Chain A
Amino acid sequence: MSDSIVVENVSKRFTMRYHRTIKQIAIASVRRQQLSDSFLAVDDVSFVVKQGESIGLMGLNGSGKSTLLKLISGVMRPDGGQVLTRGRIAGLIATGAGFHAQLTGRDNVYLNAAILGMSEVETKAKFDQIIEFADVGKFLDTPVGHYSSGMFARLGFAVAAHVNSDIFLVDEALAVGDRPFKKKCMERMREIKEEGRTLFYVSHSPGSVRKMCDRAIVLEKGSLGFDGPVDEGIRYLKYDSDDPNSEDDELGTDI
């Protein structure tokens, strides 16, 4: 009964079209060039996540991590198999994606929270916490187009991190922001984890995965390469040779 995310034989195929206009297509077909090509970004992946588990999703660039995350968040739909989730999903799949440059910070908080499924009452109750966390000070009523990239990211993180959700997805969101803010983010993620929410964390940084997660899933060219304890997962990826004391490792800078 306590399954939180069920991924069953999920595949996602992307089609690349080389030509977009009728002229290009005509010329290419006369020359007998290939018009399109497709590849499996996610290939027959299955796993079950229990409520309250924290999963570290790892893998090299292009291994399908972000696509899998989008399938779980519902932004994309699988071509094969099915994804099922229980409860409300929030997360950081690119911070501040829902922000509109012309709207003020305040309006954007309300809009972004509504997109994540919060009601007006819920947002009002959380508003002060969000603003305190984002720490944008007097710029709250300035259009976010004028924000520095750090402020922008902080506000985005603040909204997503305070939504009442049952599943929390994080996609390398900590790469932005200064060191104190990264620390604050990690603390907040730990709180979320301790509240018993399901945490699904995509990262290249073995240090932060080791700290945050109790299970690792490794993707390799779209297929499930490893699913099990974190330390073994890191060894599987051969990430453990990194200097464990480096700052990047600790704070999860994803390069």
Chain B
Amino acid sequence: MTTHVVDPDRVPDGPLTPPGGVGGLLDVFRRRYLLKLLVKKELQARYEGSFLGMLWSYVQPLVRFCMYYFVMGLVLNFSRGVENFAMHIFAGMVFVHFFTETFTSGTRSIVKNKALVRKMALPREMFPVAAMLVSAYHTFPQLLILTAGAVMSGWDPGALETAEPVLAGLLGFAIIAVFGTALALLFSAANVFFRDFQNFVQTVGIFVTWSVPMIYPFSRLTKSPLGGTWVETVYLANPIAEAVLLLQYGFWVPTTTDPAVTLATEMPDHLFTRGLIVLAVSFVVLGISQWVFSRLEGKFAERL
């Protein structure tokens, strides 16, 4: 055996650490460059060989919008007494779509990237986070369309005294982003062990459409026998419902003829305070998801 000489220049600085890193989500944001490339890859892969490309992510929401508007608004007449019902639906759809996309694609993300997860050491939280960012990327143009629609329906951002409409939208966006990432993280890990979870998540997706004031106004619930009961409390505790209400507050309420009246009849009290609480709770859920994820992560490579 040859004697071993260590060249001091070659000894890397820094301590001995467990390989692969243990920083979780923090590691993801420390390696933003990799995250950027993964998001780019995801976007490129999704529209591979497609002629319409990114347009496809608008076709489905558009069809759904027309269907809701026709069936709910015109046939079932849910729009009775609701001004600008189209704006009401669309504001809801933007966030419902953002959430379900994040949740379903995020849940599949680890299993889908199993080639990487099994062979390479990188923060596995990258994949659910990338899924959320891809969904967010698709949401921005929809928000632009929403703004354009609002302006055309006579949007007056100064009509509300309490707070900025745009701020309400941003708060709602933050709620969906944080809460969606939290659930994506949790279910992507669970999905490694039982693929049942991706089906479960799709089932939840159907439920979400009906559990937010989108295809019916919020006043339908408050005026129903369930109004004021625990059902209403649970309904409003739903982060997606809260986010949808915030977006409607910002982009639908100001388009109505008398925003003050709409606010009183169609929106719950203390909307902003509720929003901030929901956001805080979403961060707590994110923390719990990260904790569960870190515990399960060690088994990913062998279970895939």
A contact residues vs B (CB 8 Å cutoff): 1-3, 6, 14, 50-53, 70, 72-77, 82-89, 93-94, 97-98, 100, 102-103, 107, 110-111, 114-117, 119-120, 166, 195-197, 214-215, 228-230
Contact = CB atoms under 8 A, between A and B. Distances in A.
Interface of B: 1-2, 4-7, 9-12, 14-21, 31, 33-34, 37-38, 41, 44-45, 48, 115-116, 118-122, 297-298, 301-302
Contact of A73 (B6, B19, B31): B19
Contact of A75 (B17, B18, B20): B20
24 contacts: A1-B11, A51-B12, A52-B4, A53-B4, A75-B119, A75-B120, A76-B301, A77-B297, A83-B18, A84-B19, A86-B16, A97-B115, A97-B116, A100-B41, A100-B45, A102-B48, A103-B45, A107-B41, A114-B34, A115-B122, A117-B31, A196-B9, A197-B10, A229-B1
Contact of B33 (A2, A3, A98, A120): A120
Contact of B11 (A2, A85, A114, A115): A2
A3 B4 CA distance: 12
Nearest to A79: B298
| The 7 nearest A-B residue pairs measured at CB | A74-B20, A74-B19, A87-B12, A97-B119, A196-B10, A74-B121, A84-B16
Could you tell me the dominant secondary structure of chain A's interface residues?
A: loop
B108 to A, nearest CB: 16
Given A73-B120, A77-B20, 16 more contacts: A3-B16, A50-B4, A51-B6, A74-B18, A74-B20, A83-B18, A86-B14, A86-B16, A89-B121, A98-B119, A102-B45, A102-B48, A115-B116, A116-B120, A195-B10, A230-B1
A177 B118 CA distance: 23
B19 A72 contact: yes
B34 A115 contact: yes
Contacts of A97: 115-116, 118-120
Contacts of B301: 70, 75-76
B27 to A, nearest CB: 11
A119 B33 contact: yes
